[in-house]
Structure 1
Amino acid sequence: METGFRKWIIVITIITSTIIELIDSTIVNVSINTMSGNLGSTLEDTAWVITSYAIANVIIIPMTSFLAQTFGRKQYYIGSILLFTAASVMCGFSTNLWELVIFRFLQGIGGGALLSTSQSILFDTFSVKDRPIASGIFSLGIIIGPSIGPVLGGFIVDNYQWQWIFYVNIPIGLAAAFLSYIFIKETPRPPVQKAIDWWGIILLVIGIGALQVVLERGQTDDWFAANYIIALSVIAFISLFLLIWRQLVIDNPVINLRVLKSSTLAISAVMTFVLGFGLLSALFVFPLYTQRIIGYTAFQTGTILLPGTLMAAMISPFLGKMIQSGIRPQYLIICGFGLTAAFGYLMSRNSLQSGDANFLLPLIFRGLGAALLIVPLTALAVSELKPADIPQGAALNNMMRQMGGSFGIALTNTYIAHREAANRMALITHVTAADDLTIHRQQSYISNFMAHGANYLHALAQSIEALERVVVRQTFLLSYMDAFLLLAILNACCIPLVILTIKKKQQVKVGKVEIPDAH
């Protein structure tokens, strides 16, 4: 536990490191078109810049506790910051796509380690009774980072070269490494170096890596219509099955799954998965809707997200205080799922004419809902764990959020594709030569095109193209509205699960906070 000036320097350093890691998980999304043109690659191939970072993140996160014990937490943390910063430099220097993908993977290895290590350092900086406050502070990075990414990325791409989305990490990373070296204390390492579970590491890399590729690339290649998706799915299943079995039977596992004996951690991990699913799915669908349908730029899309993000950032520290004062995290979690469900429902009621005024309230609900989920779930997940188990519990919880995000984006993308086919079929059944509204609209198009100099045959062809554009735009609109409604239903369905964990008896005490024991 730290006090005074040193304590708050550590807090600022930790939050900064968390934010830059999470910014980089979304900052590239708005730059894909520009990168594709500059590097001479297809959009599908350029998407590997995003995929490689996500794969590296999910592989390294569950290993962070083991690696921190092996190399020393302070050295490992500083090394991760420096790796992240050096890889950012090399990403900017890349001259072709596959160089960029490799360095982006290394950046993800360094960045993924920052999440769980940051959380364990932050918890050690505060006393046990103040850990809910630490959870509130840590949640700032989780909320702010992904939301700022598109804003910052859009601004840089609109005004500078795309390489600067990586170069901005350099001064921040170097400052964070320096402050960590000066102020963060080293934790004692085990006196006897334990044998490294190399088979566990290999199975983890193969299993998680294969699963992430399936999730990230499945929709692009029509899922199980592609042989490599089938092969990777089988490899992922076998590898992860063997990994779980091995981690439960050996004495020195690379991932200590035994911490999941805490039912509070296990249930929190499930809800954190849903949180990640909804959090990143919303950030995936909303830009598609505003940019493809409404006509917003990437920067405008990012800017409209800021009010909700700022509201979440403002209330997060107070939520920690509320939990510390004795309010059950489950009550806050129910409110969080309720607000997130309200966001999805309100967004599903939008139209082609919607604008900022229609988005403001739902996005504020989304921001507040995210804060009401992240802070209590972070506190609840580690509430029953011994201090030695907190790093592993935090790592597993963070992995579930990242995995939830990966599943969310993949499944939401697939759902949108299926809804596009169904919605288009429903729409074109009404766009016929016998439909009065279609005839009237087509005649108005023909008249307009002929008034601008086209002959009748040319105007007729242009009118058919115009009708097709209307159908396509309406199809996308309906599909995105369906996706928002799906998110609303998913979050609403989690509320009964949370209610089941609220018990009047069998409570466990954490500091001055009583949290129900969800056995």
Structure 2
Amino acid sequence: MSSPNPPNQPPQKRQPLTGGKLVIGTVALSLAVFMNVLDSSIANVSIPAISGDLGVSPQQGTWVITSFAVANAISVPLTGWLTQRFGQVKLFITSIILFVLSSMLCGLAPSMEVLIAARVLQGAVAGPMIPLSQALLLSSYTPAKSGMALAFWGMTTLVAPIMGPLLGGYISDNYTWPWIFYINIPIGAFAAWATWSIYHKRETAVRKLPIDKLGLALLVIWVGSLQIMLDKGKELDWFNSTEVVILAVIAVVAFIYFVIWELGDDHPVVDLSLFKGRSFSGGVVAISVGYGLFFGSLVILPLWLQTQIGYTATLAGIVMAPVGIFAILLSPIIGKILPKVDARWVASVAFVIFAIVFFLRAQFTENVDTMTLMIPTVIQGAAMAMFFIPLTSIILSGQPPEKMPAAAGLSNFVRIMFGGIGTSVTSTFWERRTALHHSQLTEFSGSHSPAFTEAVHNLTAQGMPEPAAWATVDRLMTVKASTMGATDIFWISAIMFLGLISLVWLTKPSRSSVPADAGGAH
């Protein structure tokens, strides 16, 4: 697994793969990504089972999610630097193997402390996997077919977040929670073996760069502080909590020092100079904000269905699942046409469709039927197919091969961070808008309100005690207020998606023409 090129010589140009090797390589890389993305969401619905089995509260159980997210967020932007030190193929396979081993440790954990430690390891080693899978996949295809390569890659990242909660809930209900981690073992073993078989002779050159210790320490401090603040902010009532204020101050100060240090260091641990490129910076902001809006709705919608509308977890999952239909069907088509059109047009259409989807959701009421719920979800799949692929193409287009892993790692890092920010902001905004609408609705309740009096009278006439009738009416107002809070979010998201189109057109004209040697690190 050593590099085939001396450290001070340029690497040999790697030829695209063909035939069976191309198919197996694509499947192996996609499975590794699927396993990685799946694990970031599969534990969410299993927290009650895990915390109950290990004898801790559900609030403590959420550290199973937080610990993975913090470690993963820190390691993703290190991909470019790690690739230059160890080689692309070696780092990718090592990441898969360590991910499988840490998954075993998670399943075998006898206590919450051990499980959290294993999840930290799992998140840390998972970081390079997604950006390196992009780079390896692009190096396997000709430049003309790079859009198709990104389409195959995109399908796994679209389906995995949807499959995670469904699979996690099914395993927790029918088996035991350790199996949400054990399922990674056969997937990871095959992905590692197949990747080694196909790519071991395509290793990139390495350079023994000095370790940017201060940059790495600052990265750990500000990302860790920000992630913990985002995960615990709602629970601690945000800036009314001293702990959140301290975390915010640490994150801001460490971030400022981090940027100053990295821009001035000869061998930065994160290459921030990439943001000087118009296509990179515009594409990263567009894909990250769009992903944050999408991910926020991915959390709010099933939560609203389960807590307010009376859907079970399984039914909520069924409502969300059709998003993968158009995403899977259209991704190869988008990948095929992308080299022939300006990627900015495709991305713009995606944002328009997203806006339509959220405008449709903004019409939801508490009496919405399942078919009405599913129509926007199905349409959203088309937007997702035209979202990830062209914007990834814009971000990576024009990057020299040696910059590709760093560009993929940094763009994925920012996108993941915005996913966390979107989740926290959306859930907090939903809670506060719900409280506001509820207080406004209660102004029209009480004995002075004819509608309220009539509703209570009708319930008591059916044999319900008056206190129970009051509670029932209050519950109806709560559902109404929660629905109004959710539709407020959908309206705002729709408008923001339309606004993101302007960012897309700040980038340079782009067709999918990523270099065949994309992903080399030298």
TM tier, smaller: over 0.9
Q: Is 2:247 the counterpart of 1:241? A: no
Q: Find the counterpart in structure 2 of residue 143 from structure 1.
A: 158
Q: Write the mapping of 1:371-410 to structure 2, written as runs, cut at 5 A.
A: 371-410=385-424
Taking structure 1 as reference, are residues 62 and 323 closer, same or farther at Cα in structure 2, changes over 3 Å only? same
Among 213, 220, 231, the residue aligned to 1:205: 220
Matched-pair contact (CA < 8 Å) for 1:135–1:320 = yes
Q: How does 1:84-483 map to 2 (within 5 A)?
A: 84-185=99-200, 187-188=202-203, 190=205, 192-325=207-340, 327-449=341-463, 459-483=465-489
Counterpart in 1 of 2:88?
73
Q: 1:495 aligns with which of 498, 501, 512?
A: 501
TM-aligned CA distance change 1:483 to 1:98, over 3 Å? farther
**Secondary structure of 2:336's partner?**
helix
Deviates more, 1:183-192 or 1:332-341: 183-192
Q: Distance in 1 between matches of 2:378 and 2:361?
A: 12
Aligned residue type for 1:322: I
Give structure 1 stretches of 5+ with no counterpart.
451-458, 513-519
The alpha carbon displacement at 1:129 in A equals 2.6
Deviates more, 1:403-412 or 1:347-356: 347-356
- Matching residue's letter, 1:391: P
Shift of 1:448: 2.5
Q: Aligned in 2, Cα 1:386/1:485: closer, same or farther, shift over 3 Å?
A: same
Contact 1:58 1:208 in 2 (8 A): yes
CA distance in 1, matches of 2:245, 2:359: 35
Shift of 1:293: 2.3
Matches of 1:391 and 1:354, distance apart in 2: 45
Aligned equivalent of 2:11: none
Question: How far apart are 1:7 and its partner, in Å?
Answer: 1.3
For the structure 1 residues 281 and 120, does the alpha-carbon distance in structure 2 shift closer, same or farther, using more than 3 Å as the test?
same
Once the two structures are TM-superposed, the CA of residue 481 in structure 1 deviates from its matched residue by: 1.7
Counterpart for residue 454 of structure 1: none
Q: Cα distance, 1:25 vs. partner?
A: 1.4
- What residue ranges of structure 2 are gaps of 5+ in the alignment? 1-15, 516-522
Rounded to whole Å, the distance in 2 between the matches of 1:79 and 1:502 is 36
Shift in Å, 1:464:
2.1
Q: Residues 199 and 189 from structure 1, CA distance in 2 versus in 1: closer, same or farther, beyond 3 angstroms?
A: farther
CA distance in 2: counterparts of 1:115 and 1:5, whole angstroms:
23
- Contact preservation (8 Å) 2:78, 2:269: yes
Alpha-carbon distance change, 129 to 219 in structure 1, aligned in 2, over 3 angstroms = same
Q: Give the Cα–Cα distance (whole angstroms) in 1 for the partners of residues 511 and 352 of structure 2.
A: 26
| Cα shift at 1:188 | 5.0
Deviation at 1:385, TM superposition (A): 0.6
- The aligned amino acid for 2:439 is M
Letter of the structure 2 residue corresponding to residue 383 of structure 1: S
TM-fit CA distance, 1:319: 0.9
Structure 1 vs Structure 2 CA RMSD: 2.0
Distance 1:351 1:509 in 2: 42
Cα distance in 2 for residues equivalent to 1:72 and 1:437? 71
Q: What amino acid does structure 2 have at the position aligned with 1:406?
A: G
Equivalent pair of 1:133/1:324 in contact (CA under 8 Å): no
Query: 2:470 is matched by which residue type in structure 1?
Result: I
1:50 counterpart residue number: 65
Match of 2:453, as an amino acid? I
Counterpart CA distance in 1 for 2:161 and 2:203 is 34
In the alignment, residue 364 of structure 1 is paired with which amino acid?
A: V
8 Å Cα contact 2:84-2:206 kept in structure 1: no
CA contact (8 A) 2:233 2:244 kept: yes
| Alignment size in residue pairs | 501
Q: Is the 8 A contact 2:339 2:513 kept in 1?
A: no
Q: Secondary structure at the match of 1:294?
A: coil
Which deviations, in whole Å up to 9, do the C-alpha atoms of 1:264-309 show, x marking residues without a partner?
0110010011122022112101111221122222222222222221
- Shift of residue 508 of structure 1? 8.8
What residue identity is the alignment partner of 1:471?
Answer: M
Structure 1 contact 279–370 (Cα < 8 Å) conserved: no
SS of aligned partner of 2:128: helix
TM-score (norm 1): 0.92
| Compared CA separation, residues 438 and 258, structure 1 to 2 (3 A) | same
Match of 1:59 in 2: 74
* Counterpart-to-counterpart distance in 2, 1:39 and 1:100: 10
What letter corresponds to residue 58 of structure 1 in structure 2?
Answer: A
Residues of 2 paired with 1:79 and 1:126: CA distance?
A: 23
The one-letter code of the counterpart of 1:468 is: D
* Residues 82-113 of structure 1, C-alpha deviations (whole Å, 9 max, x = no match): 22111211222223323222212211112222
SS of residue matched to 2:124: helix
> CA shift at 1:192, angstroms?
4.9
Partners of 1:198 and 1:345 lie apart in 2 by 48
User: Which fold has the larger relative contact order, with Cα–Cα distance below 8 Å and residues 6 or more apart in sequence?
Assistant: 2
How far off its partner does 1:501 sit? 4.2
Deviation at 1:189, TM superposition (A): 5.4
State how far apart, in whole Å, the 2-side matches of 1:502 and 1:111 are: 32
Q: Which amino acid aligns with 1:497?
A: L
Q: Is contact 2:76-2:127 (8 Å) kept? A: yes
Q: Secondary structure at the match of 1:255?
A: coil
Determine the C-alpha separation between the residues in 2 that align with 1:191 and 1:337: 40
CA deviations on 1:107-142 (whole Å, 9 max, x unpaired) are: 111222211111111111112232122111111121
- 1:231-265 deviations in Å (ceiling 9; x for gaps): 11111112111221222112211111222222101
Residues 309 and 367 in structure 1, CA contact (< 8 A), matched pair in contact too: yes
Report the AA paired with residue 60 of structure 2.
Answer: D
- The separation in 2 between residues aligned to 1:363 and 1:382, in whole angstroms, is 29
Deviation, 1:176, is 1.1
2:5 corresponding residue in structure 1: none
